[in-house]
Amino acid sequence: MFDFVSFIPRAVVQGIPLLFGSTGETLTEKSGNLNLGIPGVMYVGGISGVIGAFFYEQSLSSKADINGFLAICIPLVCCLIGSLLMGLIYCFLTVTLRANQNVTGLALTTFGIGIGNFFGGSLIRLSQSDVPSIALSATSAFYHRSLPFADKLGWFGKVFLSYGFLAYLAVIIALITAYVLRHTRVGLHLRAVGESPATADTAGINVNRYKYVATCVGSMIAGLGGLYYVMDYASGVWSNNAFGDRGWLAIALVIFTLWRPNVGVLASFLFGGLYILHMYIPSGLNLAVKELYKMLPYVVTIIVLVFSSIRNKREKQPPQSLGTAYFREER
Amino acid sequence: MTTNEVRKKEPLIHITKRGQLVWYRAWGIRIGAVLLALIVSALISVIMTGKNPFEIYATIFQGTFGTTRKLWIALQDSALLLCISLAVTPAFRMKFWNVGGEGQALIGCFASAACMILLKDVLPHWAVIVCMVLASLLAGAVWGFIPAFFKAKWNTNETLFTLMMNYVATQIVAFFCVIWESPKGSGQIGVINLNTGIGWLPDLFGNKYLLCISVVLLLCAFMYFYLSNSKHGYEISVVGESEKTAHYVGIKVEKVIIRTMCLSGALCGLAGLLLTGGVNHTLTTTLVSGRGFTAVMVSWMAKFNPIFMILTSFLIVFLSRGASDVASKMSLNTSFSDILTGIILFFIIGSEFFITYKVHFRKKHTGEEIAHV
């Protein structure tokens, strides 16, 4: 029998970084910015948190006097600032300077992964550890802490209550984002900017401001995904390139959910499940087949992309102006 | 009175689109951006290392021009990058954002590695090479055809589709890396046909770097004429400019999209052939090492002009090799080069704004216009 009680929590913890990433990217894309820099932003979010936590832990004389509030807030704030800066770079280039979004995004990814691995590597040297990774177990313990009574509730506790607070935050942010996009005036304006900036401009909406705010907030949300990955999923262990291709998977998830963050909650868990399915498939010693299972999330995304374009329903398309810069005086 | 009130609301900065900027001024701006980027990266290096900036510049320069061998490797690297950049260019000219160069090249690597492994005992050396050429071009073309077909038929978003195809390719390669692993249990393929050299592309004039470089230079010349002097190139430009116009003048847009992407994919496959058959003689999931993405930037920086791409691809290779030399000499992490490359790209990307647009500051008096570039 397939062991759902152990499978679901593992799928969920795999899914949470993707959920953060895809919520952030959805918000960004709704403003018409296709931010292909999200993988880089998530790296920077992760490493900024690690840097903050590292120096906080170093400043303590012993691990015992760690203050729970500071241990959570310092990495969190560092992470938000780091990813905000990445968002600002992207916005300045694509919105203010109207640069090509694909090129800027790819450059941002190169840059962000470089930042992550560079500072990661430098911190590893600073900490003079024997293994190529930094362990921030004290900080991680606070991020990892789940509700105290979760253990006592059997399978229910394990499936629903065994996660750190960032996991719940991811779900809440996704639901709030979905609500804001669908049911508020700000969301309506934002969607207008993404669909047709010229129309929005005529209606008196400040296009650039919406693009900036949506992209920067989106980057900050995505950055939290990197922080969750290091602090909770990896138990505070940063090793270079461990984050892998999750950033691209988060972009895949945006398409998969057809730009709806509320759907993203379940979809990210599904993707998390697909990502680790290969560990649960009884394939014996055949490692090769496992590699094929890792292809599933991407193949599923392609299928969704194709079907949504074939059905061609208006509300299920990418934002119309996605990937194009807006210049008021252009035709 | 009214004019005064109007002036109060006038924004501080106002931008207008330029007409065509003369080429030397445009390139002046770009070179200025590169120089500025070099200053900023040197500053950052100085902060990181505490060394004198000229030492850093010297190290960057040494990274490419230090020894003859380094120069050849840099030229070969630029050629490989140039090959993928040339490959994605026709698609970009058509405003088809092919960010799948990585996957198309990797699948080309896979196809040629497959020929090397499976046909080594069946066919003679030259026949294996012929099969490799055909297989890698075909594999790349198929990888380009799939997203193009859906784009042409149903307008499926090509950026996202080609992006996903990269990872499908990666996993296929990962699958076969395990199947063909040697020695067993290592999970790696290692150098293929190390003893026999079957399927290894021949050296040209006894120089192992020259074949790759000359093939790509020929390709560059071909691409220049294909884009600017052929009917296909004209059709690509028209489709890129406006699909409606293309329809109106009787160009079959679907056909152009599919044909161009097959070409684009096939040439990426050629890069894969050069990588596996000519340079590394192996197959790993990271063999293309991000060139598919860097190529997008190389092509775009050169304004999709094949001749300028020689310069831009060399520039990128020069910088990244230099930065990695700085990193190793000053005992920094090798990822330092990614950061510097990123910064330089940001500057070049940003400089395009000053080429396309003109910035006007608010006039202080009714006097003459102050326009800054």
Contact: A305, B160; criterion CB under 8 Å: yes
Q: What share of chain A has pLDDT > 90, as a percent?
A: 29
pLDDT at A281 over 80: no
Rg (CA), chain A: 20
CA distance B205 to chain A (A): 37
Contact: B167, A103; criterion CB under 8 Å: no
What is the per-residue pLDDT for A285? 57
Report, as an integer, the average pLDDT of A291-320: 80
Of A100, A118, A245, the CB nearest to B339: A118
Q: Assign A67 to helix, strand or coil.
A: coil
Helix, strand, coil tally for chain A in percent (to 5): 75, 0, 25
pLDDT band of residue B245 (cuts 50, 70, 90) is confident
Of B294, B343, B349, the CB nearest to A104: B349
| Angle, vertex CA A305, rays to CA A300 and CA A311, nearest 5 | 120
pLDDT at B265 over 50: yes
Q: Which residues lie across from B17 on neighbouring strands?
A: B357
pLDDT at B312 over 60: yes
Dihedral (CA of B349, B352, B354, B356) sign: negative
Spell out the domains of chain A, with CATH numbers in brackets. Answer: 4-145+159-316 (1.10.3470)
**Residue of A35, A44, A111, A294 for testing the chain B interface, max B β-carbons within 10 Å:** A111
What is the per-residue pLDDT for B136? 92
**A235 touches B: beta carbon within 8 Å:** no
pLDDT band of residue B290 (cuts 50, 70, 90) is confident
CA distance A157 to chain B (A): 35
Q: What is the rounded CA–CA span in Å between residue B293 and residue B98?
A: 10
| Least reliable range by pLDDT among A226-230, B26-30, B199-203, B247-251 | B199-203
- Report pTM: 0.85
What mean pLDDT is reported for chain B?
Answer: 83
Chain A residues whose CB is inside 8 A of the B185 CB are none
By CA distance, what is B340's nearest residue in A? A111
pLDDT at B371 over 60: no
Q: What is the rounded CA–CA span in Å between residue A185 and residue A183?
A: 7
| Angle, vertex CA B167, rays to CA B166 and CA B169, nearest 5 | 70
Cβ-Cβ contacts under 8 Å for B154 (sequence gap 6 or more)? A306, A309, A310, A312
What is the per-residue pLDDT for B10? 66
Cβ-Cβ contacts under 8 Å for A107 (sequence gap 6 or more)? A37, B297, B342, B345, B346, B349
Q: Assign A299 to helix, strand or coil.
A: helix
Tell me the angle at which helices B306-329 and B291-301 cross, rounded to the nearest 10 degrees: 130
Rounded to the nearest 10°, the torsion over CA B19, B241, A303, A278 is -50
Cα separations in angstroms, A237 against A81, A135, A136 = 21, 4, 6
By CA distance, what is A324's nearest residue in B? B95
Residue with tokens 């970009």: B92
pLDDT band of residue B1 (cuts 50, 70, 90) is very low
Residue B183, preceding peptide bond in cis (omega within 30° of 0): yes
For the residues of B181-197, what is the DSSP string, one character each?
Answer: -SSTTSS---STTTTT-
pLDDT digits (tens, 9 = 90+) for A74-133: 889 999 999 999 999 999 999 988 888 888 998 899 899 888 888 888 887 777 766 667
Contact: A251, B160; criterion CB under 8 Å: yes
Q: Assign A326 to helix, strand or coil.
A: coil
B84 with B292: CB under 8 angstroms?
yes
Contact: B171, A294; criterion CB under 8 Å: yes
pLDDT at A283 over 70: no
Q: Please, which residues 142-201 of chain A have a Cβ atom closer than 8 Å to chain B?
A: none
Q: What is the rounded CA–CA span in Å between residue B179 and residue B188?
A: 9
Contact: A309, B294; criterion CB under 8 Å: no
Q: Please, which residues 103-122 of chain A have a Cβ atom closer than 8 Å to chain B?
A: 103-104, 106-118, 120-122
pLDDT band of residue A286 (cuts 50, 70, 90) is low
Nearest one of A24, A49, A43 to A35, comparing CA atoms: A24
A224 with A41: CB under 8 angstroms?
no
pLDDT digits (tens, 9 = 90+) for B161-175: 898 899 899 889 988
Q: Assign B358 to helix, strand or coil.
A: strand
Give the highest mean pLDDT range of A156-170, A272-286, B153-167: B153-167
pLDDT at A141 over 80: no
Chain A residues whose CB is inside 8 A of the B159 CB are 34, 36, 102, 323
Q: What is the rounded CA–CA span in Å between residue A296 and residue A299?
A: 5
Contact: A100, B349; criterion CB under 8 Å: yes
CA distance A239 to chain B (A): 13
What is the per-residue pLDDT for A131? 67
Q: What is the rounded CA–CA span in Å between residue B85 and residue B264?
A: 10
Phi, then psi, of B75 in degrees rounded to 5: -65, -40
Q: What is the rounded CA–CA span in Å between residue B231 and residue B237?
A: 10
Report, as an integer, the average pLDDT of B62-84: 87
Q: Please, which residues 21-40 of chain A have a Cβ atom closer than 8 Å to chain B?
A: 34, 36
Q: What is the rounded CA–CA span in Å between residue A303 and residue A311?
A: 12
Report, as an integer, the average pLDDT of A170-187: 92
pLDDT digits (tens, 9 = 90+) for B85-110: 999 999 988 888 888 889 999 999 99
A210 with A180: CB under 8 angstroms?
no
pLDDT at A312 over 80: no
What is the per-residue pLDDT for A66? 74
pLDDT at B114 over 50: yes
Of B156, B168, B346, the CB nearest to A305: B156
What is the per-residue pLDDT for B370? 47
Cβ-Cβ contacts under 8 Å for B271 (sequence gap 6 or more)? B80, B83, B84, B87, B105, B108, B288, B291
**A329 touches B: beta carbon within 8 Å:** yes
* Global ipTM: 0.85
CA distance B204 to chain A (A): 34
Q: Counting beta carbons within 10 angstroms of the beta carbon of residue A316, is it exposed (0 to 12), middle (13 to 18) or buried (19 or more)?
A: middle
CA distance B328 to chain A (A): 12
Q: Which secondary-structure segment (H or E) carries B359? A: strand B357-361
| Angle, vertex CA B16, rays to CA B10 and CA B22, nearest 5 | 150
| Least reliable range by pLDDT among A66-70, B156-160, B165-169 | A66-70
What is the per-residue pLDDT for B242? 81
